[in-house]
Amino acid sequence: MNWDVTYYPEYWNGKKLAYPEVPREHAKFAQSITVGNLVFASGCTGVGAPADDIAAQVTAALDKTRAALETAGSSMENIVKTFFMVRSLDDYQLVRKTETEYYERHAPKLVETPPAATLMVIGALAKPEYRVEYEAIAAIDRTAPDWGVTYYPEFWAGKELAYPHVPKDHAKFARTQVVGNLVVVSGCQALDHDSVRVETADFREQSRLVLEKIKIGMEETGGSLSSVVKTNVFLKDVDLISVYREVEREFFQQHDPQAAANPPASTVYVCVELPRPEFLIEVEAFGVADTAAPGWDSVFYAGNKEASSVVRAGNLLFLSGCDGTDPASGKVTSDAVADQVRTALDKVRTAMEEAGSSLEKLVKITLMLKNIEDYPAMRRAECEYYEQHAPHLLAHPPACTFIQMPEITGGGTLFQIDATGVL
pLDDT in tens, 355-365: 999 999 999 99
| Inside any domain, residue 14 | yes
Q: Which of 73-82, 218-227, 302-311 has the lowest mean pLDDT?
A: 302-311
The pLDDT > 90 percentage for the chain reads 96
Enclosing domain of residue 344: 1-28+321-423
User: From CA 207, how far away is CA 200, in angstroms rounded?
Assistant: 11
| Inside any domain, residue 18 | yes
What pLDDT band is residue 304 in, cutting at 50, 70 and 90? confident
Whole-number pLDDT of residue 196: 94
| Inside any domain, residue 417 | yes
Average pLDDT, the chain: 96
Assess whether pLDDT exceeds 80 at residue 191: yes
CA within 13 Å, CB half, 34 = 18
Assess whether pLDDT exceeds 80 at residue 106: yes
| Inside any domain, residue 113 | no
Contact 171, 161 (CB under 8 A): yes
Assess whether pLDDT exceeds 90 at residue 302: no
Whole-number pLDDT of residue 306: 87
Q: What is the CATH number of the domain that holds 369?
A: 3.30.1330.40
Cβ contacts of 239 within 8 Å, gap of 6 or more = 410
Whole-number pLDDT of residue 358: 98
Assess whether pLDDT exceeds 80 at residue 276: yes
The mean pLDDT value for 246-256 works out to 98
Contact 217, 176 (CB under 8 A): yes
Whole-number pLDDT of residue 78: 98
The mean pLDDT value for 364-379 works out to 97
Longest dimension (CA), the chain: 55
Whole-number pLDDT of residue 40: 98
Contact 114, 105 (CB under 8 A): no
Q: pLDDT tens, 11-45?
A: 999 999 999 999 999 999 999 999 999 999 999 99
| Inside any domain, residue 412 | yes
| Inside any domain, residue 276 | no
| Inside any domain, residue 188 | no
Contact 58, 102 (CB under 8 A): yes
Whole-number pLDDT of residue 313: 97
Beta bridge partners of residue 268, listed in sequence order: 233
The mean pLDDT value for 246-250 works out to 98
| Inside any domain, residue 334 | yes
Reduce the secondary structure of the chain to three states and give it as a string.
Answer: CCCCEEEEECEECCEECCCCCCCCCCCCCEEEEEECCEEEECCEECCCCCCCCHHHHHHHHHHHHHHHHHHCCCCHHHEEEEEEEECCHHHHHHHHHHHHHHHHHHCHHHHHCCCEEEEEECCECCCCCCCEEEEEEEECCCCCCCCCEEEEECEECCEECCCCCCCCCCCCCEEEEEECCEEEEEEECCEECCCCEECCCCHHHHHHHHHHHHHHHHHHCCCCHHHEEEEEEEECCHHHHHHHHHHHHHHHHHHCHHHHHCCCEEEEEECCECCCCCCCEEEEEEEECCCCCCCCCEEEECCCCCCCCEEEECCEEEECCEECECCCCCCECCCCHHHHHHHHHHHHHHHHHHCCCCHHHEEEEEEEECCHHHHHHHHHHHHHHHHHHCCHHHHCCCEEEEEECCCCCCCCCCEEEEEEEEC
Domain count, the chain: 1
What pLDDT band is residue 415 in, cutting at 50, 70 and 90? very high
Assess whether pLDDT exceeds 80 at residue 113: yes
